[in-house]
Amino acid sequence: MTLTLILMRHAKSDWGNPLLTDHDRPLNKRGRASARALGDWLRREGWLPDRALSSTSLRTRETWEGLKLTAPVTWDAALYHAEPETMWEVLAGADGQVVLMLGHNPGIAEFAGQLVARAPDHDQFGTYPTCATLVVQFEAPDWASVRPGTGQARAFVVPRELTE
């Protein structure tokens, strides 16, 4: 069976209110536009999740809302600033054939690198800027069977490429 993971970093957040905790920072104007653009791109390309897994931060929640996708979402506190090991554990318990995982750097960039057999030919893959999105496919019976370095990158995009 082919399993598809859409791995997305949250959109650009607002640093304007020093009284907010990191967890409670909202998206800024550019971030809201990026989330809309990524949602449009996913629909246009036919990459539609049937399950979403997301950090509980306000900026990941607002990114999800901006995508305007209809998959059921699980808000998982373990994904807030998660290390790759935690992301592997969360993914292993996923259901759905096409899963969107929404999280944070620096863990998400490292996780993305661990997923693929060969990194996409994109100069920003290693830094994984805000709202960067990787689509990677695996031949596996379920998410618990997916192993590092076995994914085939199908797409990698950053918002600037969609909003220029």
Sheet hosting strand 51-54, strand order edge to edge: 73-75, 51-54, 98-103, 2-9, 133-139, 152-157
Between strands 2-9 and 133-139, the pairing is: antiparallel
- Is residue 162 within 8 A of residue 41, CB to CB? The reply is yes
- Give residue-wise pLDDT tens across range 68-121: 999 999 999 999 999 999 999 999 999 999 999 999 999 999 999 999 999 999
- Residue 156 in tokens: 């990698």
pTM for this one? 0.97
Average pLDDT, the chain: 97
Pick the CATH number of 2-163 from 3.40.50.150, 3.40.50.1240, 3.40.50.720, 3.40.605.10: 3.40.50.1240
Residue 156, helix vs strand vs coil: strand
